[in-house]
Amino acid sequence: MSSPDSDITFTGSIPKVYESYLVPLIFAPFAGDMAARLAQRSVSSVLEIAAGTGVVTRALASALPENVSIVATDLNEAMLEQAQSVGTSRPVEWRQADAAALPFPDETFDAVICQFGVMFFPDKAKAFAEAHRVLRPGGVLLFNVWDRIEENQFVNTVTTALEPIFPQNPPRFHARVPHGYCSRSTIKGDLAAGGFTAEPEFTTVEKRSEARSPQVVAIAYCQGTPLRNEIEERDASLLGDATVIAAKAIARRFGTGSISGKIQAHIVAVVK
């Protein structure tokens, strides 16, 4: 019942819920890590693709010298509008752009960075080819992807909890998309198809996801991601029930107060 379009649709109230709940839950812990990795390199111009609501953009603006230019892009205007409303510590250029058709000349940037975005690209090799095109020789493509869903405790619990509500067609957005692109051989193949000939460097990083309550986790995943689209496609009246059921499942596994769960991702760096 789900479609590729619903998998990449971040509209309506999703951007605000995403920024308020999901960003601190799972994206902020990795944003500083990504910015710190890039700060170790000598760069003068950086392009961020699939910037979302700007958590990495904000980290880059703080971690990189002020003379380093930052262009942050996303396919979804609503996500960029949310990012701009939060703002950054110094000027950043915001652009709506498709990662598979970047509106920049060849060899423009020293680095292309993407946090948890490549999994959403319909044609990953084409997006990698665009990153390769706009990178200067010696430039780096730095991105991360979630490890398999079983290595990420909160989202795995939520996904499993929703299965009984829709037994004929359980919503599997998170297993299919965010956590469905973690094979090193697949990623290597797509990078090679995109023109990268150097061996990519993979680093697996484990962090903790912290929440003040199970309800925060349930709202984040059920209402702040395209999982919401999947639930509403099946039965819009059940969004509230699904959120409550997810919260109860989180509470049973992790407790009813402030909780913590494992999150794990792969960091990938490849030089042009």
pLDDT tens string 82-105: 999 999 999 999 999 999 999 999
pLDDT tens string 115-166: 999 999 999 999 999 999 999 999 999 999 999 999 999 999 999 999 999 9
Dist CA 227 CA 19 (whole Å) = 15
The edge-to-edge listing of strands for the beta sheet with 259-271 is: 93-96, 69-74, 45-48, 109-115, 135-146, 259-271, 201-211
With a cut of 60, say whether residue 17 has pLDDT above it: yes
Dist CA 264 CA 24 (whole Å) = 15
With a cut of 60, say whether residue 18 has pLDDT above it: yes
CA distances from 188 to 32, 146, 183 (A): 25, 15, 9
- As to burial, measured by CB atoms within 10 angstroms (0-12 exposed, 13-18 middle, 19+ buried), residue 137 is exposed
Banded model confidence at residue 13, pLDDT cuts 50, 70, 90 = low
The alpha carbon torsion through 19, 23, 27, 33 (nearest 10 deg) reads 90
Q: Nearest CA to 53 among 26, 80, 90, 87? A: 80
Dist CA 190 CA 9 (whole Å) = 23
Is residue 18 within 8 A of residue 28, CB to CB? The reply is: no
% of the chain residues with pLDDT over 70: 95
pLDDT tens string 232-243: 999 999 999 999
Predicted TM-score (pTM) of this structure: 0.92
- As to burial, measured by CB atoms within 10 angstroms (0-12 exposed, 13-18 middle, 19+ buried), residue 199 is exposed
More confident residue, 49 or 20: 49
For the chain, domains (ranges, CATH) are 4-271 (3.40.50.150)
